[in-house]
Chains A and B, each alone.
Chain A
């Protein structure tokens, strides 16, 4: 019988001829955890009194590092001690890593056909390069540290058929914000998005990662793109080991079909306090206090290039702070080499090294009561970036950069 990409990967990893709805136990390729989720996992793992599956564990401090206070320093120290105790090979110290999902991509852990779990909900990001990847909790991460496998319910899939090509600086962020607005924040609960159609070839890999990253914001278990020539180019020189691309069968069963013509999309912004509150940027009038560019959603080099091009020879408005946080050390170095950091600082933006920063209200741009931020991140929940009476507006990098100049949420074309 025909299969979706999800059914094929979970069948291959479980050794079972698996279809949607079945519960299977599968071998994972990697289990990732960060400085907020790993300490709880360590506590649970120690209770099992066994050896860890060393080569499958990837630990990346990113949420509250460089340590923002003593409590977060203690959590990061727990990570370091665990890595030393068990002699784990895959640990990325501050200065040599960055936001966990970008590091998983930069360092070649994420690859087509792999099954990757992570104690962070945005683990679904690697679907952008044809992996089945999904978020789990700390206790399940501990179980994976011990056994290298986990049970899964094979998800039903939603076929997202794409045609056309993006116009202007419209990007993957605008597509996913439109999609989430169409189906709601629980529109894909327990399901996988699988992207198909000629439009896929017109979406660069970094945008696919952005789209897959936010599958969870519709409740999705993952969001998977097929592997194509662009994927192979992206993986060259960075992927660890061999990989096996997985495509869907023509007659595969999907629970529903969504269709988007990329050429018809325009800049989107999601209003507080749900990612599904998407509106057209051209129809809004919102003054901002802060513009944030970064995160596992839109902190890649291509995002920085788009923003830098808009900010070149311009100034961030006097009453606005712009904060730029490259998603990884690799991205940061590349931005330095290309002169992008200099463009940001000359424009009056603050640039930091890679970290999750203000995305989850940890540090580096936390909002005061009543403040509004247009942000390239993934969540705009109440209190997400600071005070419970602050507001986060989600948008793509072009809109974030343009808004920093204008002092209100606008598209770059109106500057």
Chain B
């Protein structure tokens, strides 16, 4: 179960907004986290807490294939991303770096600062405060397995028994 405070954003939050291109000269996780969401929400990097959850509208993570985008969010403490729809490459990158990503149309029910609980394996989001319970299609088992192991490479290491 993931529990965290909501940071809410709109549609088409692209990877340049999540981590601007000017910071891609260094892939250190702390460097990326320090600039996460900088051009859309300058307060995010300094105020985000471990376990917080990003909730957004359509097409989250569109644009560049830069894996630095989900890495910046993960390193800044974000515990999960929930969006109405997600751009294809960003979706795969989240799974591969071990950042839970959920497709669920929930943004209209939430504001920044709300608290939600996510059950990844059952496919449910519980909104503290209103008590509303919203279902989503749970991830297939093989993707859950990658997430639980912390990403694709950790998963592959178990497959080839390193």
Contact = CB atoms under 8 A, between A and B. Distances in A.
A281 to B, nearest CB: 24
Contact of A75 (B14, B22, B25): B25
A40 B40 contact: no
Contact of B156 (A48, A121, A362): A48
Contacts of B65: 37, 118-121, 123, 135-137
B162 A36 contact: no
B67 A137 contact: yes
B4 interface: no
Contact of B25 (A50, A72, A382, A383): A72
Given A48-B160, A381-B14, A382-B17, A140 B152 contact: yes
B152 A143 contact: yes
A37 B66 contact: yes
Interface in B1-36: 12, 14, 16-17, 20-22, 24-27
A190 interface: yes
Contact of A384 (B16, B58, B154): B16
A121 B39 CA distance: 21
B63 interface: yes
Interface in B105-162: 151-154, 156-157, 160, 162
Given A48-B160, A221-B88, A68 B67 contact: no
Contacts of A384: 16, 21
Contacts of A118: 65
Contacts of A123: 65
A50 B24 CA distance: 27
Interface string A124-152: 00000000000111111011001000000
A139 B97 contact: yes
Size category of the binding interface on chain A: 35 or more
Interface in B37-63: 39-40, 58-59, 62-63
B68 A40 contact: yes
Contacts of A36: 24-25, 66, 68
A137 B25 contact: no
Contact of B12 (A138, A185, A216): A185
B76 interface: no
Nearest to B89: A135
Interface residues of B, number: 39
A389 B154 CA distance: 40
A219 interface: yes
A130 B17 CA distance: 32
Contacts of A40: 27, 67-68, 71
B25 A121 contact: no
B18 to A, nearest CB: 11
Nearest to B140: A23
Given A75-B27, A136-B92, A379-B16, A186 B59 contact: yes
A147 to B, nearest CB: 8
Nearest to B151: A139
B93 A381 contact: no
Contacts of B63: 121, 216, 379, 381
A186 B12 contact: yes
A360 B21 CA distance: 6
A71 interface: yes
A48 B153 contact: yes
B39 A388 contact: yes
A361 B27 contact: no
Given A71-B26, A121-B63, A186-B58, A139 B96 contact: yes
Interface in A283-321: none
B65 to A, nearest CB: 4
Interface in A363-408: 366, 379, 381-384, 386, 388
B73 to A, nearest CB: 14
Contacts of B39: 382-383, 388
A380 B17 CA distance: 12
A360 B65 CA distance: 13
A186 B156 contact: no
Contact of B24 (A43, A63, A119, A219): A63
B75 interface: no
A274 interface: yes
A297 to B, nearest CB: 14
Interface of A: 36-37, 39-40, 43-44, 47-50, 63-64, 68-69, 71-72, 74-75, 118-121, 123, 135-140, 142-143, 146, 185-186, 189-190, 216, 219, 221, 274, 360-362, 366, 379, 381-384, 386, 388
Given A186-B12, A219-B88, 17 more contacts: A40-B71, A48-B156, A48-B160, A75-B25, A121-B64, A135-B89, A136-B65, A136-B89, A137-B65, A137-B93, A139-B67, A140-B93, A143-B152, A185-B62, A361-B22, A383-B16, A388-B39
6 nearest CB pairs, A to B: A360-B21, A137-B93, A186-B59, A139-B96, A71-B25, A137-B67
7 contacts: A44-B153, A47-B157, A119-B67, A121-B89, A143-B156, A185-B62, A219-B87
